[in-house]
Structure 1
Amino acid sequence: MDCINLGNDYFLFKFYNSDDYDKVLKGGPWFVEKLFLAIKPWEPYFRAFGDNLTSVAVWVRFSELPIEFYYMEVLKEIGSAIGPVLQIDSYTATSSRGSYARLCIQIEFNKPLITSIRIDKMVQQVKYEGISTLC
């Protein structure tokens, strides 16, 4: 990969392997020591000195989600109640783990965190991984 300093604490990373790109983009949240490292895909006309970071990708867990909801389209619909779903954990996607479902979701900084959602007749708690370090 190549790294270019864009100024104003922004860096552009060019990946030559799409698997590496996906791992970095969707594997976070990332920290350098105790500092949060915000990562987002490149946008045309991006200017480092005019940008305002408004969202971040975080992993959320739905503990004890009934196994009948472990279908990709159903999980995406459930996750979209919180924000755009970027990725579904591979163990969740293959129903290999039934104790919790794990999704990577884009959340907005200026909106309150959603702590529970209603799915049909039940209320499902939402747990955010590493959020205490961000907030």
Structure 2
Amino acid sequence: MESELAALSIEEGEEEILELPPEIQEVPDPYALCLVGRFLTSSVIHFLAMRNTMADLWHPLGGITITDIGEKRFCFKFYHEVDVSRVMEGSPWFFNNHLLLMHRLLPGEDPLLVSLDHAYFWVQIHDLPPGLMSEAMARQFGNFIGQFVEYDSKLVISGRKQLLS
């Protein structure tokens, strides 16, 4: 076996590298798994403090790269889908009491041109009679104060169990 390994040559059996024409080669999206964001404030955000705070707060499994892209916008590049989802689902996020408006970049979007003018908030309504605790009522409340996004029926069920026990 040693003699066979000694006789191996890298040049033996090499094949030519197949290169695809430029129109066929895939160009990786530089903004895949990226969020663009800006803070709702007119004051200056201290970039290094914000970068360290958000990285510590989110603690993504695959790491994060935070870049100041200008015009008071920041690019948050993640390396795993689960990290992006966790950050988006955990919003709203704040730094020094300034709300972070975020948008997940889609292929081809320019991070300097995307609209950063809204944020999602969970709203909890108290003292509703049990007959009105429904998704239809939640939808009406949500659309009255903004735009309804999601209804969490688990909270309603656990709230009823607490009332009954």
TM norm structure 2: 0.44
- Cα distance in structure 2, aligned partners of 1:44 and 1:57: 23
More helix by share: 2
1:41–1:65 Cα change, 3 Å? farther
1:15–1:65 Cα change, 3 Å? farther
Answer yes or no: is 1:37 the counterpart of 2:103.
no
Query: Could you tell me which of 114, 119, 125 is aligned with 1:56?
Result: 119
Larger CA deviation: 53-62 vs 75-84: 75-84
Residue aligning to 1:72: 135
Structure 1 unaligned spans of 5+: 99-135
Residue aligning to 2:80: 16
**In structure 2, the residue corresponding to 1:28 is in which secondary structure?**
coil
What amino acid sits opposite 2:141 in the alignment? Answer: I
1:4 shift after superposition: 5.5
Structure 2 unaligned spans of 5+: 1-61, 161-165
Residue aligning to 2:65: 3
Which is higher, the Rg of structure 1 or of structure 2? 2
The Cα RMSD (Å) is 3.0
Residue aligning to 1:111: none
Answer yes or no: is 1:95 the counterpart of 2:157.
yes
- Cα distance in structure 1, aligned partners of 2:67 and 2:153: 33
Q: Percent identity?
A: 21
TM norm structure 1: 0.51
Q: Contact conserved, 1:26 with 1:86, CA < 8 A, in 2?
A: no
Q: Contact conserved, 1:6 with 1:12, CA < 8 A, in 2?
A: no
More strand by share: 1
Residue aligning to 2:21: none
Query: Could you tell me which of 85, 99, 115 is aligned with 2:148?
Result: 85
**In structure 1, the residue corresponding to 2:87 is in which secondary structure?**
helix
1:36 shift after superposition: 2.0
CA distances 1:29-79 after superposition (whole Å, capped 9, x unpaired): 211233322222323432233344221112222121222233334423431
